[in-house]
C-alpha cells in the first residue's frame, strides 16, 4: 500500500496566486509609507487608503534553517513622478540572504550594501535574483501592470526598516514611456 502523499501548496506562475496552504496577507497602503517617496506633497494628495502592495506568505514553521515563501504583488502607480515601490529593508539578521523570482509585470530590484553602494536588477517574468547577505532590497514597479515576485527567505532573517531611515541612494522616476534613475 502506498504511503499518504500530501498535496503541497501551489503557485500560479502567471499571476503569483498562492493556494492550498495557510496564507497570511499583509496589505501596505499609501498612508503607511510616509517619507518613502521623494515628493511629500504628492504623497499627501494621494488616497491614504490606496493599496500599494500586498504580500502573501505561506504559513510554515519558524526556526533556524526554516524558510518562508511569499509573493509580493506591487501595484502600478506613482507618487508624483516616482513609481510605486516597497518600503525596502535590510534583514535584521544581516548575514541572511534571500531569493526573488519575477513572475509577472516589469520592474526593478534595488539592492544596496551597508556601505551605501546601490545597483539595480531588471525584474521580469522568469528573472532570478540572488540577494546576498548584508544587502538591503526594494522592489519598484516601472510598468503599467502589477509586478509580482516570489520570494524565499530564512524565517529567522527578520526585517530591519529603521536602518534605511535615510532611504536608498537611487530613486526611479517615470520618464516618457520609460524610467529615469536618479541619485538622491
Ligand atoms: O521578504 C522580502 O524581502 C519580501 O517578502 C518583502 O518583505 C516584501 O516585498 C515587502 O517589502 P517590505 O518588507 O520592504 O515592505
Ligand atoms: Ni527580505
Report CA(88)–ligand 1 centroid distance (Å).
6
Ion ligand 2 nearby residues (CB, 5 A): 98
Number of domains in the chain: 1
Is the CB–ligand 1 distance for residue 159 below 6 Å? yes
Let me know if residue 59 belongs to a domain.
yes
Let me know if residue 2 belongs to a domain.
no
Edge-to-edge strand order for the sheet containing 128-131?
23-29, 51-58, 67-74, 147-154, 98-104, 128-131
The pTM (predicted TM-score) of the whole model is 0.97
Is the CB–ligand 1 distance for residue 25 below 6 Å? no
Let me know if residue 150 belongs to a domain.
yes
Residue 164: band (very low, low, confident or very high) from pLDDT cuts 50, 70, 90: confident
pLDDT at position 38: 96
Let me know if residue 1 belongs to a domain.
no
Let me know if residue 5 belongs to a domain.
no
pLDDT at position 146: 98
Let me know if residue 4 belongs to a domain.
no
Q: Which domain holds residue 72?
A: 10-183
Domain CATH code at residue 95: 2.60.120.10
Q: What is the pLDDT of residues 88-144, one digit of tens each?
A: 999 999 999 999 999 999 999 999 999 999 999 999 999 999 999 999 999 999 999
Let me know if residue 63 belongs to a domain.
yes
Residue 81 has pLDDT above 80, yes or no: yes
pLDDT at position 166: 78
User: Among candidates 110, 106, 105, 93, which has minimal Cα distance to 153?
Assistant: 93
Average pLDDT over residues 8-31: 97
Structural element, H or E, at residue 41: helix 40-45
Let me know if residue 85 belongs to a domain.
yes
Amino acid at each position: 500500500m502506498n504511503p499518504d502523499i500530501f498535496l503541497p501548496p501551489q503557485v500560479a506562475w502567471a499571476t503569483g496566486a498562492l493556494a492550498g496552504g495557510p496564507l497570511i496577507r499583509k496589505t501596505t497602503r499609501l498612508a503607511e509609507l510616509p517619507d518613502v517617496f521623494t515628493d511629500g506633497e504628492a504623497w499627501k494628495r494621494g488616497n491614504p487608503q490606496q493599496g500599494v502592495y500586498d504580500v502573501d506568505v505561506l504559513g510554515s514553521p519558524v526556526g533556524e534553517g526554516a524558510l518562508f515563501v511569499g509573493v509580493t504583488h506591487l501595484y502600478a502607480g506613482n507618487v508624483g513622478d516616482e513609481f510605486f515601490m516597497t518600503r525596502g529593508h535590510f534583514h535584521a539578521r544581516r548575514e541572511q540572504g534571500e531569493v526573488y523570482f519575477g513572475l509577472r509585470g516589469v520592474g526593478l530590484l534595488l539592492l544596496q550594501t551597508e556601505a551605501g553602494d546601490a545597483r539595480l536588477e531588471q525584474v521580469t517574468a522568469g528573472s532570478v535574483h540572488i540577494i546576498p547577505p548584508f544587502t538591503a532590497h526594494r522592489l519598484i514597479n516601472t510598468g503599467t501592470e502589477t509586478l509580482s515576485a516570489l520570494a524565499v527567505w530564512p524565517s529567522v532573517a527578520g526585517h530591519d526598516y529603521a536602518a534605511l531611515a535615510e532611504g536608498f541612494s537611487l530613486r526611479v522616476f517615470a520618464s516618457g514611456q520609460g524610467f529615469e534613475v536618479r541619485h538622491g
